[in-house]
Structure 1
C-alpha cells in the first residue's frame, strides 16, 4: 500500500470480529486434524471407508470457507484502517494463538 509504513506488532489494531473469525478458522482446522487422526492416513492399506472421505471433505470445506472469510475480513480491515494486510494477519494469528509463532498451524485440540 503506497505510503504505508511497517509498524511494530503491538501497534497493529485488531477488532473483535477479526479475532472471532480467526478463532473459528483455527477451530475448523483443529476439527480437520481430528478427522485425520481418527481415520489415519488416507493412503494406508485399506484406505478410508467412504464415510471417512465424506467426513474429511466436509471438514475441509468448512475450514476452507472460514479461511476465505477471515482473509476477506483482514483485507477489508486493512483498507479501512490503512494498515498492511500482512501485519494485521501476523498480529491476529499471534493474538489468537496465545503468542505462539503465527506462521505455525495451530495444533489440533
Structure 2
C-alpha cells in the first residue's frame, strides 16, 4: 500500500533540499544553519505524520524523499 502524503511534507522536503543545494554552493555557517533548521522541520513533521497514520517513520521519510526527488511522470 502506498503512503498518502500531504502537501506540507512535500513542501518541507523541497525547502530542505533547496537549503542543502545552497550549502553546496556556499558552505557558510548561515547556510548550514538554515539547512539544519529545514532538515529538522522535515524530521519533526515526518515523525508526527507517521504516528498519525500508523506507519513506520522510515517508510514515511522514504516516501517523502522519493516523491520530491524522483516524482512519478504525469500520465
Task: Find the structure with the greater CA-based Rg.
Answer: 1
Cα deviations across residues 6-49 of structure 1 (Å, max 9, x unaligned)? xx5xx11211000000000000000000114xxxxxxxxxxxxx
Which TM-score applies when normalising by structure 2?
0.89
Partner of 2:10: 19
After TM superposition, the runs of 4+ consecutive aligned structure 1 residues lying more than 3 A away are none
- Give aligned pairs, total: 71
Which TM-score applies when normalising by structure 1?
0.62
Could you tell me which runs of 5 or more consecutive residues in structure 1 were left unpaired when the two chains were aligned: 1-7, 37-55, 100-109
Check whether the contact 1:78–1:88 (CA below 8 A) recurs between aligned residues: yes
Output the aligned Cα RMSD. 1.1
CA distance in 1, matches of 2:60, 2:70: 15
CA distance in 1, matches of 2:41, 2:18: 14
Greater RCO (CA < 8 Å, at least 6 residues apart): 1
SS of the equivalent of 2:70 reads coil
